[in-house]
């Protein structure tokens, strides 16, 4: 089939329901009440219940023996704990005819709006139990063919007598422990064999021979299955094993030996742990745009699960190195890393180590670090001593690579755990490093975008608020958006000095980002230009309107222009909210008349209006981001704004806008959806005559 044909006719994966329905093992789902919601064909065959019979029934009334009916679901829903979740356990189940059978359960839980659902894959162990029963009979009768029976099993099987001697091991057990014959195995005391391994349980607890199920069964009469992790000291190989023991009794019912089945679950356990780790790491990587802190968190999560040491270094385009993190489970060991940094070369060798990984973009695996390799890499005696103190057993160097470039390197080291890295480890860490690289790239792109927005903001905002003789002026601006949505907004305000006063302009252009910045600049420059020719507010708005109409696309803007002259204000509104004037007693009035929105072709024009602001009065102009702020019970609205302005009667403009800022922050629910801008003015006595600025330097503005 050609590439084109294959691309045109993709193979559709089978639906999950089809896979479960045809599974070799029973598959059952229940809701959080314990009622059956799914029952596949194999479940019908094994347990004898038709699907129609059990749907909606309580599972406890079908396949759970009465003596085992504990309220695990209630305990899980109350505490979130259930020992059988996400781990294979062996139990006894019941058929419809009342007969019982041994089973292995693998239970998972999922949560949705309608509640919890529990899924169980059930493996029928009847055949295995029959084999063990046959083995018990063989042992009692000492029949000569029991070895042939056990050697067909893929699982390792050992038999231990009451004297704690291993009297039999099948072929799989001998191979697993590295022996050729049973006689060779029996020459070694069991305790010395275990000493060849580092053995812990799945919770990290170190185990002794007394914890092994076959030993516990002889000593205590019972032993639960046990999952262990072993690391062979000589090779560094890691394995996960499931140990299960059963007793062999004689004709009088006395235990004469124990049989232990050792199942290699390395692949399953590694897949489970890696899937969980990758999910947690992925969540961590997208949780913040601070790439350094994120990489530090990931490195510290790597140890000791994946490695004993983890280091992350980033390199820029010039080759400059940024040491992001070195992590080790024992903080006291980190001093070694700091001392080793003194021996790092200024320039990396492109033919080995980190330099080679950076150059090629391919990972390097050193499965076994010998002392000769350390000696070759050392620069002096102190250096070799430090390297030996680290006790490197195995090293993995993986690039932080995106499709376009290599950003850095993640280095993992095995030391005191005595483990070694495998090719499977390399493939998994490459997945982790690839996700980390994309997180770093996104963070760098975000930083660049933020710098662009900050640069635009600096160019649109003055360094300080101008001092206007005779007027006390305060401003407020809050951009919309959350941390990840930095944009230049559409709200702006502007101050332009005239020969006989000042112009104050506030407005709101359509759009966000670069488009809004372009319109804001167009509006500001049009206003400045017209202020030199005709400083009437209506003329200024007409100039902005003409510039927006000529811009081409439909570019709209609301704007309000005030001209401050001694004790008089001339104002004109182009579709903008009208100013609020507050008197000393809390009296509120709107000033001026609403005009037509700017940017619409064929507008008839705008008219100026004169008002006089009393010595004890304040004037507030604002954008609709103030009144449109969303709270739990709707918009902030003009009535809330009036009440707040009334409550601040007699206060300075700065105090009034600080109160408004706080009120909006308390009222708002969720991220701010729109920009917010406001200017407050009040009359003050003129103390000194203003110094006239040169014409080219007299225009001061602020916009966002």
Question: What is the reported pLDDT for 696?
Answer: 39
Question: What is the reported pLDDT for 596?
Answer: 93
Query: Which is more confidently placed, 173 or 135?
Result: 173
Q: Which residue has the tokens 């006894």?
A: 92
Q: Residue 691 region, left (φ>0) first, then alpha (ψ -120 to 50), else beta? A: beta
Is residue 135 pLDDT above 70, yes or no? no
Q: Whole-angstrom Cα distance, residue 434 to residue 140?
A: 58
3-state DSSP helix/strand/coil percent for the chain, to nearest 5? 35, 30, 35
CA distances 595 to 548, 571, 598, 602, 626, Å, are 16, 11, 9, 14, 20
> CATH: 3.10.20.30, 3.40.50.720, 3.30.365.10, 3.30.450.20. Which one for 127-264?
3.30.450.20
Residue 307's SS3 state is: coil
> What's the whole-number average pLDDT of the chain?
84
Q: Among 4-18, 184-198, 303-317, which is the least confidently predicted range?
A: 4-18
CA distances 206 to 209, 228, 260, 451, 560, Å, are 11, 10, 20, 52, 75
CATH code 3.30.450.40 region(s) in the chain: 277-451
Tell me the pairing of strands 676-683 and 634-635. Answer: unpaired
Q: Among 18-32, 409-423, 481-495, which is the least confidently predicted range?
A: 481-495
Question: Would you say 560 and 507 are in contact if contact means Cβ atoms under 8 Å apart?
Answer: yes
Phi, psi angles (nearest 5°) of residue 241: -135, 145
Question: What is the reported pLDDT for 591?
Answer: 93
Other CB atoms closer than 10 Å to residue 572's CB: what's the count? 25
Taking the CA of residue 551 as centre, how many other CA atoms within 13 Å lie in the half-sphere pointing to its CB? 26
CA 189 to chain centre: 49
Closest to 443 measured CA to CA, from 286, 291, 285, 294: 291
What confidence tier does 6 reach under pLDDT thresholds 50, 70, 90?
very low
The pLDDT tens digits for 334-356 are: 888 888 988 888 888 899 889 99
Question: What is the reported pLDDT for 134?
Answer: 58
Question: What is the reported pLDDT for 226?
Answer: 94
Question: What is the reported pLDDT for 689?
Answer: 47
Question: Would you say 679 and 493 are in contact if contact means Cβ atoms under 8 Å apart?
Answer: yes
Question: What is the reported pLDDT for 149?
Answer: 63
Closest to 477 measured CA to CA, from 591, 649, 621: 621
In the chain, what percentage of residues exceed pLDDT 70? 84
The pLDDT tens digits for 621-658 are: 999 999 999 998 899 999 999 999 999 999 999 999 99
Q: Whole-angstrom Cα distance, residue 429 to residue 424?
A: 9
Question: Would you say 256 and 162 are in contact if contact means Cβ atoms under 8 Å apart?
Answer: yes
Instruction: Write the CATH number of the domain with boundaries 20-124.
Output: 3.30.450.20
The pLDDT tens digits for 140-160 are: 454 445 666 677 777 899 988
Closest to 235 measured CA to CA, from 394, 370, 369, 419: 419
Q: Which residues contact 273 (CB under 8 A, 6 or more apart)?
A: 305
Predicted TM-score of the model (pTM)? 0.53
Question: What is the reported pLDDT for 640?
Answer: 94
Query: Which is more confidently placed, 135 or 1?
Result: 135
Is residue 498 pLDDT above 50, yes or no? yes
What confidence tier does 459 reach under pLDDT thresholds 50, 70, 90?
low
Question: What is the reported pLDDT for 12?
Answer: 44
Question: What is the reported pLDDT for 287?
Answer: 79
What DSSP assignment string belongs to 479-527?
Answer: --S-TT-----SEEEEEEEETTEEEEEEEEESS-HHHHHHHHHHHHHHH
Q: Among 1-15, 165-179, 492-506, which is the least confidently predicted range?
A: 1-15
The stretch 679-690 carries a mean pLDDT of: 72
CA 597 to chain centre: 45
Is residue 695 pLDDT above 50, yes or no? no
Structure tokens at 74: 């209630």
Question: What is the reported pLDDT for 461?
Answer: 57
What confidence tier does 8 reach under pLDDT thresholds 50, 70, 90?
very low
Question: What is the reported pLDDT for 145?
Answer: 55
Give CATH superfamily name and number for 461-703: PPM-type phosphatase domain (3.60.40.10)
What confidence tier does 199 reach under pLDDT thresholds 50, 70, 90?
very high
The stretch 578-591 carries a mean pLDDT of: 93
CATH code 3.30.450.20 region(s) in the chain: 20-124, 127-264
**Beta strands across the sheet bearing 27-31:** 36-39, 27-31, 115-124, 100-112, 89-94
Question: Would you say 408 and 310 are in contact if contact means Cβ atoms under 8 Å apart?
Answer: no
> CATH: 1.10.760.10, 3.40.50.300, 3.30.450.40, 3.40.50.150. Which one for 277-451?
3.30.450.40
Cα end-to-end distance, the chain, whole Å:
58
The pLDDT tens digits for 475-493 are: 998 877 644 455 566 788 8
Is residue 441 pLDDT above 80, yes or no? yes
Q: Whole-angstrom Cα distance, residue 506 to residue 699?
A: 15
Q: If you average pLDDT over each of 69-78, 253-262, 320-329, which comes out highest?
A: 320-329
Looking at residue 617, what DSSP letter applies? -
Query: Which is more confidently placed, 51 or 448?
Result: 51
Question: What is the reported pLDDT for 703?
Answer: 41
H-type alpha helices, 94-206 = 126-141, 146-151, 171-177, 182-186, 190-194
Residue 226's SS3 state is: strand
Phi, psi angles (nearest 5°) of residue 148: -65, -35
């Amino acid at each position: 089939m050609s590439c084109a044909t294959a691309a045109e006719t993709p193979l559709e994966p089978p639906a999950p329901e089809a896979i479960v329905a045809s599974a070799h093992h029973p598959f059952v789902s229940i809701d959080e009440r314990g009622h059956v919601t799914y029952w596949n064909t194999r479940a019908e065959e094994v347990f004898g219940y038709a699907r129609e019979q059990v749907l909606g029934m309580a599972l406890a009334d079908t396949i759970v023996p009465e003596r085992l009916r504990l309220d695990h679901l209630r305990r899980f829903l109350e505490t979130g704990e259930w020992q059988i979740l996400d781990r294979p356990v062996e139990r006894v189940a019941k058929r419809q005819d009342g007969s019982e059978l041994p089973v292995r359960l693998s239970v998972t839980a999922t949560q949705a709006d309608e509640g919890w659902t529990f899924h169980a894959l059930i493996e029928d162990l009847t055949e295995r139990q029959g084999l063990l029963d046959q083995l018990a009979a063989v042992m009692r009768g000492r029949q000569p063919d029991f070895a042939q029976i056990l050697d067909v099993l893929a699982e390792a099987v050992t038999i231990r007598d009451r004297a704690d001697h291993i009297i039999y091991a099948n072929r799989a057990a001998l191979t697993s422990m590295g022996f050729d014959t049973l006689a060779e195995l029996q020459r070694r005391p069991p305790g010395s064999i275990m000493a060849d391994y580092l053995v812990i349980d799945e919770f990290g607890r170190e185990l002794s021979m007394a914890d092994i199920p076959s030993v516990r069964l002889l000593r205590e009469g019972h032993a639960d299955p046990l999952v262990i992790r072993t690391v062979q000291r000589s090779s560094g190989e890691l394995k996960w094993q499931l140990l299960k023991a059963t007793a062999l009794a004689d004709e009088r019912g006395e235990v004469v030996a124990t049989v232990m089945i050792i199942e290699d679950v390395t692949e399953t356990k590694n897949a489970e742990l890696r899937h969980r780790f990758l999910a947690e790491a992925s969540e961590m990587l997208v949780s913040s745009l601070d790439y350094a802190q994120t990489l530090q968190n990931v490195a510290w999560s790597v140890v000791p699960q994946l490695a004993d040491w983890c280091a992350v270094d980033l390199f820029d385009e010039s080759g400059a190195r940024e040491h992001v993190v070195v992590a080790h489970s024992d903080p006291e060991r980190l001093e070694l890393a700091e001392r080793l940094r003194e021996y790092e070369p200024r320039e990396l060798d492109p033919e080995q180590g980190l330099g080679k990984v950076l150059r090629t973009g391919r990972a390097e695996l050193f499965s076994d670090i010998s002392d000769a390799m350390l000696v070759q890499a050392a620069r002096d005696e102190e250096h070799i001593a430090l390297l030996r103190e680290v006790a490197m057993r195995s090293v993995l160097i993986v690039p932080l690579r995106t499709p376009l470039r290599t950003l850095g390197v993640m280095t993992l080291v095995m030391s005191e755990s005595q483990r070694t890295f495998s090719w499977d480890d390399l493939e998994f860490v490459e997945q982790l490093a690839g996700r980390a690289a994309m997180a770093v790239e996104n963070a760098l792109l975000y930083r660049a975008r933020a710098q662009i927005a900050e640069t635009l903001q600096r160019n649109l905002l003055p360094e300080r608020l101008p001092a206007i003789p005779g007027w006390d002026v305060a401003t407020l601006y809050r951009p919309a958006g959350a941390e990840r949505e930095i944009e230049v907004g559409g709200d702006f305000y502007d101050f332009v000095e005239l020969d006989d006063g000042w112009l104050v302009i506030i407005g709101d252009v359509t759009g966000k980002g670069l488009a809004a910045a372009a319109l804001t600049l167009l509006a500001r420059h049009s206003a400045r230009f017209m202020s030199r020719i005709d400083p009437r507010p209506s003329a200024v708005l007409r100039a902005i309107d003409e510039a927006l109409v000529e811009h081409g696309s439909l570019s709209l803007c609301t704007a309000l222009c005030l001209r401050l002259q001694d004790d008089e204000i001339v104002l004109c509104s182009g579709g903008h909210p009208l100013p609020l004037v507050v008197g000393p007693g809390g009296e509120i009035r709107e000033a001026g008349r609403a005009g037509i929105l700017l940017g619409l072709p064929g507008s008839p024009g705008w008219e100026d209006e004169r008002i006089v602001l009393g010595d004890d009065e304040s004037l507030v102009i604002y954008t609709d981001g103030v009144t449109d702020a969303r709270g739990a019970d709707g918009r902030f609205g003009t009535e809330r704004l009036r009440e707040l302005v009334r409550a601040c009667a007699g206060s300075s403009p700065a105090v009034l806008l600080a109160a408004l800022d706080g009120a909006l922050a308390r009222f708002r629910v969720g991220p701010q959806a729109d920009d917010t801008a406001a200017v407050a003015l009040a009359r003050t006595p003129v103390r000194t005559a203003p110094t006239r600025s040169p014409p080219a330097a007299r225009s001061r503005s602020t916009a966002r």
